[in-house]
Amino acid sequence: MTGDTQALRGRAVTFADDPFLHPAQDCLVHHEDALILTAGGRIAAFGPYAELAPSLPEGVEPVRYDDAILSAGFVDAHVHYPQLTMVGAYGEQLLEWLQRYTFPAERAFADPAHAGRMADLFLRELLRGGTTTAMVYCTVHPHSVDAFFAESARFGTRMIAGKVLMDRNAPADLLDTAERGYRESTDLIARWHGQGRHHYAVTPRFAPSCTSAQLDAAGTLLREHDGVYLQTHLCENPAEIAWVRELFPERASYLDVYAQAGLVGRRSVLGHAIHVHEEDFCTCHAQGAAIAHCPTSNLFLGSGLFRLFDAADPRRPVRVGLGTDIGAGTALCQLRTLGEAYKVAALQGGRLDAVRAFYLATSGGARALSLDDRIGRLAPGHDADIVVLDPRATPVLEARTARSESIEDLLFALMTLGDDRAVRATWVAGTCVYNRDRAAPFRHAGA
C-alpha cells in the first residue's frame, strides 16, 4: 500500500541502537517537537520540527498530536489469532489447557466464515493496541491463513503468518499429514509470501504435535523458499519438555529436535524458551535464531520466568522480541505486555527500564523478525507505521504522568499503567487506520 504525502508533528521517541548492548542514553532518540514526513507509505524525513519545517511540501499541513508521544508501531513476535475467543480460560497449565480450550477453539475454524470474522476482529484489536506488525499462528486449515492475510491486506499491515502443522497428538479433525502439510504450505507460500507486505512462516506447532517426518518436511519448505520464516514453541513448560524427551529420545535437547530438522536459523522465532540451558542460548546466538518473550502468557499459565537478561548477554546476545501470545496471554496491547515483562524481570532480581522495554516492543521486535531494515524505527526509508500514545488517557495515568520529569519516567508510567486506551492513533504505511477519537475509529487503507 502507498499513501499520500503526510506529516505528523509531536513529541517522538525512537532508537539508534540496542540498549541491551550499549548505554541507554546513547540509544534512545527523543525530540520534544518532532516532524515525521511520509510519502509512498514510508518515512521520508524525521527530526526536530524546527529543522524540517522549511522542507514541508507546499499544501501539506502536519497532523498535530499535542500532549502525545509518537513512536514506531509495536511489534508482536508471537500470537495466535484463532485463540482470541478463549482469552482468560481458567485453571490449567499448558498441556491440559491445549486440550480443554485451545483445540476446541481452533476446531471452529473449519468454517471459513468464522475464520473471516475472527481475522477482522483480531486485526482491529491489534491496531487498537498500537501493533502494526505481528508474527501470527493460524490453524491447520489453509483458509485460516487466507482469511488472515486478506484482512491484513485491507488494512495494509506488514504481517507474518502461517498454517499450523500437526500430524499427531491432537484431535483427528485438527491433524494433517507430513505430505499434506507440505503441499498446503507450498500453495500458501505461492499465494501470499512477498505479496504486498506479507511474509509466510512455516509453522510446526511444537515438537510433540509433529512427527520427525513432518519436521523434516518443514525444513524442506525453508530450504525451497527463500525468505520464509519458521515459528514454533520451545521449552515453555516442564511437562512439555519431559514429553519431548520421551518422543525424541535420540535428540540431545528440545532445541536439538528442531536443529536436526534444519529449523534453527536466521528467520526462526522460538516462542517462550523459558527452561532453556546456556548451550541453547549459544546455539540461538550462533545460528541467528530469535526468541519471543511472552510474559503475560507465562505468568497466566504458571509456565515460569523467562531469563531476558541472560538471553541478551552481550557475550553472545540472542535477539529477543515480545509476544502477547493470545490466548494464553491476556492482552493484545504491548503496553500491558511491557508491564508484565517488568515484573518477570523483577521476580528474578532484574530491572527492565523503560528504554530497554520500549526497544523490545519496537526496534528489538523488528530485529527479532529480521525486519529492522523496514520497521521498528522512526527513520527515513522505514515503513511509516506509527503509534500515537496518550499519557493522559485515564485519570490515574494523567495524575501519574503529570509528575514525570523525564521521557524515561513518562514511558515507564505508560508501560506500567497503560493499555489500549492509551493508544490515540495507529498509522500504517502512512495512513491513519485507527483513531480512538473518531466516531468510526477504524478505516481500511485507501478508504
pLDDT in tens, 155-184: 999 999 999 999 999 999 999 999 999 999
Burial class (CB in 10 A: 0-12, 13-18, 19+), 315: exposed
Radius of gyration of the chain (CA): 21
Report yes or no: 378 and 43 within 8 Å, Cβ to Cβ. yes
Q: What is the DSSP string of 346-386?
A: HHTT----HHHHHHHHTHHHHHHTT-TTTSSS--TTSB--E
- For residue 2, pLDDT beyond 90: no
Sign of the CA dihedral running 174, 179, 181, 187: negative
Q: How confident is the model at residue 4 (pLDDT cuts 50, 70, 90)?
A: confident
Task: Provide the pLDDT for residue 311.
Answer: 98
The fold of 6-72+377-435 is: Urease, subunit C; domain 1 (2.30.40)
Report the pLDDT value the prediction gives residue 255, as an integer from 0 to 100: 98
The pLDDT tens digits of the residues spanning 362-372 come to 999 999 999 99
Residue with cell 528474578: 348
Q: Which amino acid is at 420?
A: D
Mean pLDDT for the stretch of residues 404-414 = 97
pLDDT computed for residue 287 by the predictor: 98
The domains of the chain are located at 6-72+377-435, 74-368
The pLDDT value recorded for residue 431 is 96
pLDDT tens-digit readout, 123-148: 999 999 999 999 999 999 999 999 99
Average pLDDT over the chain, rounded to whole? 97
Of 76, 160, 63, 135, nearest in space to 435 by CA: 63
74-368: what fold? TIM Barrel (3.20.20)
Instruction: Give the pLDDT of residue 445.
Output: 85
Q: What's the mean pLDDT in 16-21? A: 97
Q: Which residue has the cell 486485526?
A: 123
Q: Write down the pLDDT at residue 42.
A: 98
Q: Above 60 in pLDDT, residue 1?
A: no
Give per-residue pLDDT as tens, 180-218: 999 999 999 999 999 999 999 999 999 999 999 999 999
Q: Which residues contact 173 (CB under 8 A, 6 or more apart)?
A: 107, 110
Q: Per-residue pLDDT averaged across 252-257, rounded?
A: 98
Residues 6+ apart with CB under 8 A from 136: 79, 80, 81, 148, 159, 160, 161, 162, 201
Using CB atoms within 10 A of its CB, is residue 23 exposed (0-12), middle (13-18) or buried (19+)?
A: exposed
Residue that is written with C-alpha cell 481500511 in the block: 444
pLDDT at 68 over 50: yes
- Residue 124: per-residue pLDDT: 98
Mean pLDDT over 238-254 rounds to: 97
- pLDDT (mean) for 64-89: 97
In this model, does residue 235 exceed pLDDT 50?
A: yes
pLDDT in tens, 264-318: 999 999 999 999 999 999 999 999 999 999 999 999 999 999 999 999 999 999 9
Q: Is the pLDDT of residue 3 over 90?
A: no
Collapsing DSSP to helix, strand or coil, 234 comes out as: strand
Cα 435 from chain centroid (whole Å): 21
In the chain, the N- to C-terminal Cα span, in Å, equals 12
Q: What is the pLDDT of residue 447?
A: 65
Taking only the tens place, the pLDDT of each residue in 332-359 is: 999 999 999 999 999 999 999 999 999 9
Q: What is the mean pLDDT of residues 414-433?
A: 98
Which amino acid type is present at position 53? A
